[in-house]
Amino acid sequence: MSPKLLNILLIIAPVVLYLMVIKPLATGEGTLWSPEMSIPVLQRVNSDYSNALNNISSIQEGIESIYKDYQKVNVDILNKNAQLFSSELDEAKIRNEVVAIAAKQGIAIDSLSVLKDNRGAKIADFYSVTFTLRSRYPAFKKMLEEYDKSTRFYHIDSLSITRRKVEEGAQSSLIDKDMLDIQVRFRVHQAK
């Protein structure tokens, strides 16, 4: 190899080394290849991990204190919360609850539809419940109060109340003018 060629290689080698290796590592952008992260970014990630590792003892103490507080909670309260946002819920349970609450007030439910909807939030699905009934307003109001007192969380979506129409020619003594046609649609949430 001639001395001139060796001198040219010695001049080009550092430039190529800089452009191909050092610059991509320092900036994160290269011509032929790019590293996943640049050196400054890797240094920040390293310091974040170091800080997290240094805080492990305080995090463990926090977890232990939360667990101790959880153990102090009354079992009845935990059971009630499990009822509010149950993970074990099915259509039959919901149907039974809806019919039982209406039966307490002496109201018969005409058409009951319970459909599971999986479009809920990341932590919950919900059942969409729709039913119709005929009732006087005071009994219906008491039924809604029972839903409000229930340990299950019922979220009312819509409520439609219409007065029954009196047909011409019908005997007015046979028709209860205070009777209302009511349609209720609500959601019951279930934990995933």
pTM of the model: 0.51
Which residues are paired to 182 by β-bridges? 133, 161
At residue 67, the pLDDT reads: 92
Looking at 3.10.20.310, 3.90.76.10, 3.30.70.60, 3.40.470.10, the CATH number of the domain 91-191 comes to 3.30.70.60
Q: Is the dihedral of CA 89, 93, 95, 98 positive or negative?
A: negative
Residue from 21, 42, 150 nearest 97 by CA: 150
Domain boundaries defined on the chain: 3-72, 91-191
Rounded-to-integer distance, Cα 116 and Cα 169, Å: 44
At residue 66, the pLDDT reads: 93
Sorted by sequence, the CB contacts under 8 Å of residue 179 that are 6+ apart come out as 134, 135, 136, 164
Degrees, nearest 5: CA angle 27-32-34: 35
Residue from 57, 53, 92, 78 nearest 151 by CA: 78
Rounded-to-integer distance, Cα 127 and Cα 85, Å: 12
**Residue pair 102/109 in contact by the 8 Å Cβ criterion:** yes
Residue from 40, 189, 14 nearest 119 by CA: 189
Residue from 146, 144, 141 nearest 156 by CA: 144
Sorted by sequence, the CB contacts under 8 Å of residue 114 that are 6+ apart come out as 91, 94, 95, 98, 127, 128, 129
Q: What 3-state class would DSSP assign to 163?
A: strand
At residue 166, the pLDDT reads: 63
pLDDT tens per residue across all 192 residues of the chain: 788 888 888 888 888 888 778 777 777 777 777 777 778 888 899 999 998 888 888 889 999 999 999 888 888 877 776 666 666 677 888 888 889 888 888 888 888 988 887 665 565 677 888 999 988 888 889 988 888 887 777 788 899 988 876 665 555 555 567 788 899 998 887 665
